A and B are shown apart, each in its own frame.
Chain A
């Protein structure tokens, strides 16, 4: 095969390529074959707050921030992460415990088993950054992206609203 750009453009199915990521502000190089998803690569690298629910982009549990916006890490190949900034729940905690969004989840009983919680936290974190003035209707619409089988979702909406409000008051 002859590619015009680089001399060996193809990465074989079993060949692992180095992928340079920035995870929570720290440079991280992972070596992955092309079919590995970003979610799997992050978990293998020790970032186990990233949870896999459905593995095909329906449940939202694997939501992370990519360059500051919420994306589903099971719907990206790890190789697509090359050069991008990734944030996970590990970045939310303050120096001495929970961050304000996490605290709002605690205050509102917005988690029971906790499996889906990291995905919700990153989804709402992205909303707080891009739309700090989001009202209840918008919160409900955005939060409907992710599934929670324990709480029914109401407490998650309440937690998001509390976090947005305290953010507006200057947290």
Chain B
């Protein structure tokens, strides 16, 4: 179908964007890369009264490290993230970006759009949850940050208010030796993942794992942290027995309910166990 009618304005600056969004009212939508919004418009699942296009807003498309924390602008494209020089603690971000949709989607799609869309299968939300990212929101009322754990409320629902623009994700400085990886399963390249895992930990000199992070995608209404598994794994040597137990706990703790007609709940649970195992085995390999 064709999108329903809406009024449109293109913002040149962030100040202009928040002002336009503020005056457009409750039924306005932000447009960045459009890779999630355009299908919603075409299906007429979304019928916004106004669209504010932030695609040309300057200074929202940089990736840089700032006192050890990584700051990724809302307009950073998945294709840019995929090709960025990100390793060690940020590897999961790069790996996740390479698995989002197909190549033409990654050329246009943005980090901010993916986080704001809040699809439980969205790869970047899972990484944000695992790495305790802070989501930075701007409106005419000012700037505020929301931790990833409080940002995702339900499928396609976030803590961002109607007049707020997501401007950046900040990934806090990790401890020395922290590393992260991302794993997912989808039946074909580019499809929505049936399950995904972002995993991270700090490897001590004696080979023990600390500050273990496990976040799961597509198996609940939002990205989920597998806290029980994280606790069980922290301090372990990531030996086979610890990994198998961690995978079991992660699978037991997630909530795929009955699943859907793509993949049932028990199948998704089995995938989680498998993916967690795979991710942890990669984490214990020498960097």
Q: A residues bordering B, Cβ < 8 Å? A: 1-5, 9-14, 17, 33-37, 40, 55-58, 60, 63, 66, 69-72, 74-77, 79-80, 82, 123, 126-127, 140-142, 144-145
Contact = CB atoms under 8 A, between A and B. Distances in A.
A66 B33 CA distance: 13
B104 A72 contact: yes
A34 B7 CA distance: 7
A10 B104 contact: no
B225 interface: no
B104 A74 contact: no
21 contacts: A5-B12, A5-B13, A11-B7, A11-B8, A11-B9, A12-B7, A34-B51, A35-B41, A56-B42, A56-B43, A57-B42, A57-B105, A66-B108, A71-B108, A72-B105, A75-B39, A77-B31, A123-B103, A142-B102, A144-B188, A145-B190
A33 B107 contact: no
Given A55-B42, A70-B107, A4 B16 contact: yes
Contacts, number: 123
Interface in B1-36: 1-13, 15-16, 19-20, 23, 31, 34-35
B50 interface: yes
A63 B1 CA distance: 18
Contacts of B12: 5
Contacts of B4: 35
A56 B39 contact: yes
B143 interface: no
B53 interface: yes
B38 interface: yes
Contacts of A34: 5-8, 51
Contact of A75 (B13, B20, B35): B35
A69 B107 contact: yes
Contacts of A58: 39
A112 B211 CA distance: 56
Interface residues of B, number: 40
Nearest to B32: A80
A3 B103 contact: no
B217 interface: no
A3 B16 contact: yes
Contact of B103 (A5, A56, A145): A145
* For the complex of A and B, 7 pairs with smallest distance between CB atoms: A34-B8, A13-B5, A145-B102, A9-B9, A56-B39, A35-B3, A75-B38
A37 B3 CA distance: 9
A13 B55 CA distance: 19
B189 interface: yes
A55 B1 CA distance: 7
A118 B68 CA distance: 46
Contact of B104 (A55, A56, A71, A140): A71
A74 B38 contact: yes
Given A60-B102, A71-B104, A141-B189, A37 B6 contact: no
Contact of B23 (A1, A17, A69): A1
Contacts of A4: 15-16, 19
